[in-house]
Amino acid sequence: MSHPFTCKSKFETLHHEAEQLRNKRLKLQQSADKAKRKGEEIYESVDKWLIEAGKAIEEADEFIQGEEQAKKRCFVGLCPDLKTRYLLSKKAEKKALAIDKLVNEGDHDPISFRPRILQIVASSVYHREALNSRVLFLKQVMDALRDPNLNKIGVHGMGGVGKTTLAKEVHRQAIEEKLFDEVVMVAVNQTPELRRIQSEVADVLGLTFDVEGIPGRANRLYERLKKEKKVLIILDDIWKQLDLKAVGIPIGDDCKGCKILLTSRDKHVLSQMGTQVVFHLDVLQDEEAWSLFEMTLADAKDSELPPIATEVAKKCAGLPLLLLTVETDLRNRESYAWNDKLKQLSVFDNEEIYAKVHSVLESSYNDLPGNEVKSFFLLCGLLGLSNIPIRSLLKYVMGLSLFKHISTVKEARNKVYTLIDTLKAKCLLIDGDKYGFVKIHDVVRDTALLIASREQHAFIGTRSGSELMKWPNKDSARISLPYCDIEDLPEGWECPKAELLLLFTEVLSLGIPDLFFKGIRNLEVVDFTGMRFVSLPTSLAFLSNLHTLCLHRCQLDDIAIIGDLKQLRVLSFANSYIVELPRQIEELTRLKLLDVSDCSKLKMIPASALSKLSQLEALYMSNSFDQWEADGIRNQGNASLAELEYLSHLMTLEIQILDAKILPKRLFSNGLLSYRILIGDGWDWNGNYETSRMLKLKLKTSIHSEYGVKVLLRETEDLYLDEVRGAENLLYDIDGDGFPQLKHLHVQNNTVIQRIINSTKCAACDDKVRCMSWSTRCRIF
């Protein structure tokens, strides 16, 4: 009967245990909230523990409060008897033990996981009954995938014959028919990027890598795929043998549930990779080729067109890429245009299909309206990439002065996008794999390279990954070396006419001789990608006409010599390992575009250096430098935000400001036309990249009422808000104009919002909001 006398001790123990559980639950909830903001999902066991812990804390608090009330009643002579005290003591002890158990069970690691990407199933492109050969071919491939004795299947065919289209249709049907638990499609391309391939497979599987090295990631992916019962991996556009184990894809007995579909131009590559059966995708027969033109002629009034169109279709050699290209060129055209196209195709009538491919595509090139779009198309081909960053194109055209009467970044960007639209309409470019990229079909790219070598004295290194057999001669004007196998670069190389040099490599040890640039002094654009520089070559200072310098994915130490490049308009260190920008950058007073995006190690920009870049129009700093000083412009220390106020020409800005308190009151002006600005900590750079103005704002302070921020709010299209305080009518209280340009709104961590839109104060707001997403902690009344 010791409990009545130890009742106070039992309640103190219960109170102590409850506080321990409260603290542990709070920390875990904060970690869970942070994971959710990153787009991760919380494990069910974690959510269950949080609910149980919350309930236990609530019950303990009520029980303890009851005891406190009982103590108060004792002062007026209403104390419980010994038996009641005994029962209360026992109950307190039982609750303390239960809470102690919860505390011990509250250690969760990890607490979250990256969700599997919801795959978008495209509509079928094999719906035309007329394309009977394609429907039968697809059935053969699908039957092979259903065969339990086959796990590695190949499809080969010439460029432009429709291998990627077939792969996409297999991907669609496999998902729709639920033949596999997981279906993954990855474009391998000429230069296999193992890290990208691993990431794309992992994204579909919901796998997060906890290691950075490619071998370690391969092991994690390998073990994960072995656990899948039925998985299909489609590897499209393979140019050379790919080591599947190096990627992390199990084969054969290692994973009987894993099937692989490979597509390639080269049948030998598929044989080297051990395919058990290989299907050859041939060109279309004349009847099927003609069917692709029938829709074009459906509304034609000219009776002469059908027989001419039949001949044009035959001249396209049954290659779908060419058929669609010519069909697009001739859509809604008169008979004389069809006759002219037929004449062009007839001139190159021979047995070599690739000659027809290039001749047809060259005829499309010749039809391009003007020299600017033609030069731009050839530049796209020179990059040697199937997926082309539009921002890189912008940097190159600014350096080459490719466009007449264009002097600003804004004008150049508008022209680039206009020309891209033109080339897409001609089927010479297509949409890229993600926003901000365009793609060029490999056959189209080969044609562009042939034309560029002939018309622009361009030199293009042999196919990616192949050994460079010869070096550009002295008459070469544009030089592109995309991932060529280069052992050494020449020291005394003479190429006085060269104006563009692109060198992409994965070999960090490839060195640049100190006098490399001595004989190529007229360069206007230089892009070195994937290299390491302890210091830049001193001969770089000879490039008095250099307008664009790109050092992408490089490891950079001493780069002070860039201060000698007085004519630079574009300077880019995107995705590079660089810790500090040199003081000499302030000498680049003609600079219009500076890109240090994804330089996550950049911690130092010398004070006052940015303010000297008076002509700067575009500053990209996403996922990069964020160590802004609080004070105004100084001569020592790090850069301050106040320096940006001196950039009167600035129109494009990507920046993160961790502490809103250091934000100058009038930093942002009406001059910003496009921006991606993060204010406050905890934000990432995810968002809707299809909009040109994004703002992420943590409203712990009244920063939204400052003039500069109000300007941003008024023009923002993509708005993210966190910890909104004192705003019950969200759109009106934060911005009295009600966000007239708003297209997307995301709100998180808010409990006081009563209205999103008050129609009596902001009648037009509801028409502007296209999409609203809410975190689990947001309440809407």
Give the pLDDT of residue 229: 81
CA distance 225 to 219: 10
Give the pLDDT of residue 299: 56
C-beta neighbour count of 664 within 10 angstroms:
15
Torsion on CA atoms 697, 698, 699, 700, rounded to nearest 10: -160
CA distance 229 to 233: 13
Q: Which two tokens stand for residue 169?
A: 């249709």
Quote the Cα angle for 713-602-620, to 5°.
40
For each successive 10 residues of the chain (781 residues), what is the average pLDDT?
57 81 87 75 85 85 71 51 66 81 82 62 52 88 94 88 90 90 89 88 83 87 86 92 91 81 88 92 82 64 68 76 76 75 60 62 82 95 87 95 89 95 83 87 84 89 58 86 78 87 83 88 94 92 96 94 96 96 96 96 94 96 91 75 91 91 77 89 79 84 62 85 65 60 80 58 49 39 29
Say if CB 517 and CB 542 are below 8 A apart: yes
Amino acid at 451: I
Which residues, including other chains, have CB under 8 Å from residue 58's CB and lie 6 or more apart? none
Amino acid at 573: F
Give the pLDDT of residue 630: 79
CA 235 and chain centroid, separation: 20
Which residues, including other chains, have CB under 8 Å from residue 713's CB and lie 6 or more apart? 695, 704, 719, 734, 735, 739
State the DSSP code for 577: B
CA distance 708 to 290: 60
Q: Are strands 652-657 and 674-679 parallel, antiparallel or unpaired?
A: parallel
- Widest distance between CA atoms in the chain: 115
- Find residue 550's DSSP bridge partners: 527, 572
CA distance 454 to 451: 5
User: What are the Cα distances from residue 417, in Å, to 373, 409, 694?
Assistant: 11, 12, 20
Give the pLDDT of residue 296: 59
Total residues found in the chain within this entry? 781
- Burial class, 477, CB count within 10 angstroms (exposed 0-12 / middle 13-18 / buried 19+): middle
User: What are the Cα distances from residue 639, in Å, to 540, 597, 598, 649?
Assistant: 27, 16, 18, 19
> Where does 399-499 show beta strands of DSSP type E?
430-431, 437-439, 458-460, 478-482
Q: Which two tokens stand for residue 333?
A: 């055209």
State the DSSP code for 278: E
The C-alpha R_g of the chain, in whole angstroms, comes to 32
Element at 676 (helix H, strand E): strand 674-679
For helices 353-366 and 335-347, the axis angle rounded to 10 degrees is 140
Give the pLDDT of residue 628: 92
CA distance 507 to 465: 11
Say if CB 698 and CB 724 are below 8 A apart: no
pTM of the model: 0.66
CA distance 624 to 655: 8
CA distance 152 to 251: 8
User: What are the Cα distances from residue 130, in Å, to 165, 168, 171, 288, 413?
Assistant: 17, 19, 22, 6, 42
Nearest to 638 by CA among 604, 664, 601: 604
- Find residue 502's DSSP bridge partners: 480, 527
CA distance 465 to 158: 20
CA distance 397 to 500: 10
CA distance 549 to 458: 19
